[in-house]
């Protein structure tokens, strides 16, 4: 919800201050949310719900923050990372391909690469949801004993 609130505030600001027609601003903002923000949010939510069923919560939190910084925020020239691969969950490929937002470590992402990136991130999120269901079933069986 905080992400949606901040995003909505940004869209509201754009509606008030940009000279473009409101329909164009809203359409681009909606597409941007679906292509860039939503896959990352689904990815984080699925992992954050499923991993604590298998790991202690504090360990998961430390590992996830480390993963997020390593996998999505580091320049690959400084340290080997997945930030310049299709497994980057931040939405840089969709941002580059659909909205021409330049990222220094992604060179001219194509529409195909953006779609593959979004598909991969959503697929991984779905796999973690399946893992969550297995973890919850295991916990229910343990409680029943």
Q: Where are the domains of the chain?
A: 38-144
Q: What are the residue ranges of helices labelled H in the chain?
A: 2-17, 22-32, 38-50, 57-68, 92-99, 111-144
pLDDT digits (tens, 9 = 90+) for 42-73: 999 999 988 888 889 999 999 999 888 888 77
* From 20-24, 59-63, 81-85, 120-124, the region with the lowest mean pLDDT: 20-24
Assess whether pLDDT exceeds 80 at residue 121: yes
At 122, is the pLDDT very low, low, confident or very high (cuts 50, 70, 90)?
very high
Name the most confidently modeled range: 18-27, 112-121, 132-141.
Answer: 112-121
In this prediction, residue 123 has a pLDDT band, given cuts at 50, 70 and 90, of: very high
């Amino acid at each position: 919800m905080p992400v949606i609130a901040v995003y909505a505030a940004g869209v509201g600001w754009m509606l008030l201050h940009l000279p473009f027609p409101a329909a164009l601003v809203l359409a681009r903002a909606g597409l941007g949310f679906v292509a860039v923000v939503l896959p990352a949010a689904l990815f984080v939510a699925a992992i954050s719900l499923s991993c604590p069923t298998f790991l202690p919560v504090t360990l998961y939190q430390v590992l996830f923050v480390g993963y997020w910084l390593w996998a999505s925020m580091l320049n690959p020239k400084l340290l080997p990372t997945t930030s310049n691969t299709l497994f980057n969950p931040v939405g840089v490929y969709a941002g580059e391909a659909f909205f021409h937002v330049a990222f220094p470590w992604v060179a001219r992402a194509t529409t195909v690469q953006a779609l593959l990136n979004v598909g991969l991130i959503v697929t991984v999120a779905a796999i973690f949801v399946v893992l969550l269901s297995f973890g919850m079933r295991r916990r229910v069986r343990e409680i029943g004993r």
